[in-house]
Amino acid sequence: MREGKILAANRDGAYVIRFEGDVRLTLCTTIDEYFQQMFADPEFASVWVDLCDAEGLDSTTLGLLAKLALQVHERYGFHPAIYTCDPGITRLLKSMAFQRLFDLREEVCRDPGAVSEIPVVQGSERAVQEKVIEAHRVLMGLSAENRARFKDLMAALEH
């Protein structure tokens, strides 16, 4: 698998975020800080997530995506679109109840134009641990299945 990276584009407050390769918790600070910058943009109007070039997503990444969708819905009243082209990633998203959070589209995302790689932000070990815990709390809040799935991991992380 290719190492994960995050690319993004913004045009007049319309954001596109593209995940490529194997996106793991090592990028959680990068992802979270980009989301915060996006929400701080007074012109923010929409966001969609393109996973068509993603090869793998870990649970921390999924939790951050869920947090994004929940915040978009709470602040702006709509569900962001998420594009997936890989049947395995589509099954993963559905198993986490993402069809309730996103407008889930099993198709290629229309070309957003020029996307550029977001610079990687290194977080301290403690900051990364806090983001991992937060991401899993969000996932656990989505369904009983997720609560059961991550219960033991959360118990270990919180100690």
pLDDT digits (tens, 9 = 90+) for 25-84: 999 999 999 999 999 999 999 999 999 999 999 999 999 999 999 999 999 999 999 999
Q: Using a pLDDT cut of 90, give the percent of the chain over it.
A: 82
Task: Say how many C-beta atoms besides its own lie within 10 A of residue 70's C-beta.
Answer: 15
Is the CATH number of domain 5-157 3.30.750.24? yes
**The Cα angle at residue 55 between residues 9 and 97, in degrees rounded to 5:** 85
Q: How confident is the model at residue 112 (pLDDT cuts 50, 70, 90)?
A: low
Sign of the dihedral defined by the CA atoms of residues 152, 140, 16, 85, in that order: positive
Whether the pLDDT of residue 89 is over 70: the answer is yes
